[in-house]
Amino acid sequence: MKHNRREFIGKSTALAAAVTVSGLNACTSPAGKNDETKVSLSPVGVKWPVTFGADKPKICVGIGAGDTKMMRQYKQVGVDYVLMGGPKVPWTEQSLREIMDPFKAEGLSVINMMIGGNQNIIYGRDGRDEELKNIQDSIVAAGKAGLPVVEYNFYAHRFMAGYYEVIARGGSGVTAFDYDLAKDIPADEGTLMTAEALWENLTWFLKAVVPVAEKAGVRLALHPNDPPIPVSHGHAQIMATFNDWKRLIEIVDSPANGMTFDCGVSRETGEDPLEVLRYLGSRDRINHMHYRNVTVQQPYTKYEEVFFDEGVVNMFEVMKEVFRLGYKFGLNPEHPRALDYDKEHPGGIKNQYPGGGGYAAQTYNVAYTKAMMQAVASL
């Protein structure tokens, strides 16, 4: 009896192994070819762990200058690049290095800084010549300090009143937007900017700064209007549509005149993010990138910014296209969602949006993004 039992166990083990290998072959073989070929656990030529060189996208997160604790925390989860708002204009090489060098000491590189000080330029008011000179000098300083990308906004007004929090899975929070909630708020006092005036002022600005950026070896990235509504309390929004983005890059024909591509904003406008990505990327006009997901109830005016795995943007296809285009600048997995853990452990990153999260939620975004990158690199 013992012999029979031992023989039975041996035969059962062999049968199970045979079934398992056969099943794996069926999963890995082309359709209709269930042969006995060896199971390959990774594609030929792919060495794990998959790492990324200078010619690949660079995951980056926002960290405040001098925040050594956050530097260490993000370095621990595999982030090597950061972005932030820049110092007061005009920037100097010294003022930039004072910010950038402490990051370098922690193994991090500053890849993008947002520049301000352009309100008179946006409105076409007295004082814009001085602002222009300050920004030109700042771009020169950025080139000397080794800062590759300078990001900027061209908002006459940003419509923040329509954001609110929606409770999502497990009691977490996501950021929602509804234009109808605040569209009837009276317009700001003062000059209401028309689209024609804003385009005129942006054209004047770009023709003056893009040649400076080219010479400095710096790329400019104009942030799209987000939320992408046509009017914000009486002020036109000229970076709110795909046609607007096309018009932007035609003003000055240069890779230094680029923008921030956001697959979430692209979907918020009802566009196909892949089409937008291909158009801008094939022309080498994407100088910074936001990676996030949304669901859309009404293009431009009503949507939710959701967890990366829950939205309608095909994040895998977006990443595949990013690699195909050879994009190599910053990739920000932005707008982390509100998690209980971050509420119980306040501090760290500050999120201006209702339903926005902190370090733990941002770590989820980073991990998801890196997994997508590794998956695409393994194809």
Q: How far apart are CA 79 and CA 229, in angstroms?
A: 33
The residues near 5 (Cβ < 8 Å, ≥ 6 apart) are none
- pLDDT computed for residue 216 by the predictor: 98
Instruction: Tell me which of 238 and 183 has the higher pLDDT.
Output: 238
Which of the four pLDDT bands, split at 50, 70 and 90, describes residue 43? low
Exposure letters 40-50 (e unless 16+ CB within 10 A, then b)? eeeeeeeeeee
Encoding tokens for residue 233? 């309390």
Helical pair 273-282 and 242-251, crossing angle rounded to 10 deg: 10
Does residue 286 carry a pLDDT above 70? yes
Give strand pairing partners of 304: 176, 295
Overall pTM > 0.75? yes
- Strand, helix or coil at 132? helix
DSSP letter, residue 312: S
CA distances from 243 to 247, 249, 286 (A): 6, 10, 15
Q: How far apart are CA 288 and CA 154, in angstroms?
A: 16
Does residue 3 carry a pLDDT above 70? no
- pLDDT computed for residue 350 by the predictor: 63
Average pLDDT in the 304-315 region?
Answer: 98
Which of the four pLDDT bands, split at 50, 70 and 90, describes residue 346? confident
- pLDDT computed for residue 45 by the predictor: 77
Report whether 112 contacts 149 (CB < 8 A): yes
Does residue 41 carry a pLDDT above 60? no
Does residue 258 carry a pLDDT above 90? yes
DSSP letter, residue 299: T
Average pLDDT in the 207-220 region?
Answer: 98
Q: Which helix (H) or strand (E) holds 330?
A: strand 330-332
The residues near 190 (Cβ < 8 Å, ≥ 6 apart) are none
Give strand pairing partners of 152: 222
Encoding tokens for residue 134? 């300050």
Average pLDDT in the 172-199 region?
Answer: 91
Does residue 224 carry a pLDDT above 60? yes
- pLDDT computed for residue 202 by the predictor: 98
Q: How far apart are CA 322 and CA 127, in angstroms?
A: 40
First and final C-alpha spacing in the chain: 52
Beta strand pairing call for 231-232 and 219-222 = unpaired
Helix residue spans in 217-301 (DSSP H):
242-251, 263-268, 273-282
Q: Which helix (H) or strand (E) holds 7?
A: helix 2-28
- pLDDT computed for residue 35 by the predictor: 42
Interval 60-117: pLDDT, tens: 999 999 999 999 999 999 999 999 999 999 999 999 999 999 999 999 999 999 999 9
Does residue 250 carry a pLDDT above 80? yes
Does residue 288 carry a pLDDT above 60? yes
Average pLDDT in the 125-144 region?
Answer: 98
- pLDDT computed for residue 34 by the predictor: 43
Nearest Cα to 268, choosing from 238, 226, 232?
A: 226
Percentage of the chain exceeding pLDDT 70: 87
Which of the four pLDDT bands, split at 50, 70 and 90, describes residue 335? very high
Nearest Cα to 156, choosing from 238, 71, 80?
A: 238
- pLDDT computed for residue 348 by the predictor: 62
List domains and CATH numbers for the chain.
1-41 (no CATH), 43-377 (3.20.20.150)
The residues near 331 (Cβ < 8 Å, ≥ 6 apart) are 57, 58, 59, 60, 289, 291, 322, 369
Distance of alpha carbon 52 from the chain centroid: 17
Mean pLDDT, all residues of the chain: 90
Q: Is the dihedral of CA 169, 322, 151, 103 positive or negative?
A: positive
